[in-house]
Amino acid sequence: MSIFFSRQCEYALQSIIYLAQKKQGEMTTIKEISSHLNIPFHFLGKIFQKLSHKGLLHSMKGVSGGFWLAKPAEEIVLMDIIIAIDGSDIMNLCVLGYAECNGSSPCPMHNEWKTTKENFFASLSKKNILDVAKEIKKDGYRAA
Amino acid sequence: MSIFFSRQCEYALQSIIYLAQKKQGEMTTIKEISSHLNIPFHFLGKIFQKLSHKGLLHSMKGVSGGFWLAKPAEEIVLMDIIIAIDGSDIMNLCVLGYAECNGSSPCPMHNEWKTTKENFFASLSKKNILDVAKEIKKDGYRAA
DNA sequence: CGATAATCAGACAAATCCGTCTGAAATCGG
DNA sequence: CCGATTTCAGACGGATTTGTCTGATTATCG
């Protein structure tokens, strides 16, 4: 597991990156994704429900149903997925766990952590999943 | 809760920083720390046991017993505490959760994440708790 | 020695997160 | 229409982490 994100969030990221490797609008089933990425079937179902409710995915029931990206892949950035699943609180938590830590009353690690995390979140907000999918395909990295 | 560290680890960090504000070798009870920092009494007991076993704290039983730092505060860095409680695995986990991500087979966020975490862990390894304690005292930040 | 107050340690309870199971609803092909 | 396959949704089980309780052990002080 990552340090940073919940397991749900990791699964969501990997799955949406998987979808981004498909042709735009192509439908894919949970079954295919869960078996390719080794994600528990029903757990992924719940995650995709949440992503649908948040407007990142569309779905269709039935024998030839499945999920597809609600927007062109180049318009979805990694940060969108993270916020949809884990929420945006993760950007404002004190790294030492002090409840009263904030900009006006910073803990001793506040400023180091602030620049560190802002840089990282910025890069997550710049990375769209089309580019990510291309990198993965190019490197043969866990390719579909 | 922090993104990064377990609750145990946060409590350990806060408590040891608290101890570092005392005179060197001064003994302090769990009771005092747990009430000042709002940490569950017995939970802190277990955390301090672990820190004792790892050699960061010394302890004495009995009516005037308590805990004190095993080394001068300037020789203990935040990273020591983190590794004692959460272990050193946290430095090598893929941020997107890919099992096969590593230096020779990097995921699309691998390099960004690498610099992010290395910078941050480096600053945690530089910060000794005497300096941290001084900053806290100076700013009146959750002072004892 | 006896009362008190502290750590030590193991069992246990609660909460959270992860994962499973079951059935309903919808869609398609025959 | 019927059967197959898929999403949808809620209940449930399990694992891990967090937190509680109880009693044993040890040291101090009168």
Contact state of A78 with B132 under an 8 Å Cβ cutoff: no
Q: Is A14 a member of any domain?
A: yes
**What pLDDT score was predicted for residue A139?**
76
Q: Is residue B12 part of a domain?
A: yes
| Whether the predicted pLDDT of A144 surpasses 50 | no
**DSSP output for B61-129:** -STT-EEEESS-GGG-BHHHHHHHHH-SGGGG--TT--TT-SSSS--TTHHHHHHHHHHHHHHHHH-BH
Q: What is the pTM of this model?
A: 0.93
Q: Could you tell me if residue B40 is inside a domain?
A: yes
- At residue A137, the pLDDT reads 83
User: Quick one: B136 exposed, middle or buried, by C-beta within 10 A (0-12, 13-18, 19+)?
Assistant: buried
Q: What's the pLDDT at A2?
A: 66
pLDDT digit string, tens, across residues A24-68: 999 999 999 999 999 999 999 999 999 999 999 999 999 999 999
Query: Does A1 fall in a domain?
Result: no
According to the model, what pLDDT value does residue B144 have? 40
Among A3-17, A79-93, A113-127, B130-144, the range scoring the smallest mean pLDDT is: B130-144
Residue B45's CATH number: 1.10.10.10
Q: Is the dihedral of CA A78, B106, B98, B87 positive or negative?
A: negative
A108 and B13 within 8 Å at the Cβ level: the answer is no
- B144 occurs within a structural domain: no
Q: How many domains does chain A have?
A: 1
Q: Is residue A144 part of a domain?
A: no
Strand D nearby residues, CB < 7 A: A 29-31, 42, 45-46, 48-49, 52, 59-67; B 1, 6-8, 11, 40-43, 45-46, 60-65
Band of residue B142 on the pLDDT scale cut at 50, 70, 90: low
Question: Which B residues 9-68 have CB within 7 Å of strand C?
Answer: 29-31, 42, 45-46, 48-49, 52, 59-63, 65-67
d(CA A73, CA A7): 22
**Could you list the residue range(s) of the whole structural domain that residue A11 is in?**
7-139
